[in-house]
Structure 1
Amino acid sequence: MARKKTPEPKPAECLVCKGTGEVSRTVQVGRKHRTVGQQTGFCLNCLGSGEAPE
């Protein structure tokens, strides 16, 4: 009799980046910290993997 393999559960998504692995940060320049735009970078919570840390 053959046993059925149960599918492995998918890891939970990171709550900070919502599973994308990237977050947007505001870029500020000058002494008065004037906002000039946004820049994307990898999520420090999941280190860019998109999976929730254990």
Structure 2
Amino acid sequence: MSGIDKMKNKAEELSGHGKESVGEATGDRDLQAEGEKDQAKGNLKQAGEKVKDAFK
């Protein structure tokens, strides 16, 4: 299950990167901020998965 969670977290991070890029290109500051937030959330979840893996 950990592998699936890692893929979901990476997908969330990549989706955030896409939102940020589109927001930057179109001048949509809200979309850009949402993308940055999604990236941070994905990174935080990935860090949690790494900690769980370290204790296995």
TM category (shorter chain) comes to under 0.3
- Considering fraction of residues, name the structure with more strand: 1
The TM-score normalised by the length of structure 1 is 0.27
- Which structure dedicates a bigger proportion of its chain to helix? 2
Structure exhibiting the larger radius of gyration computed from Cα positions = 1
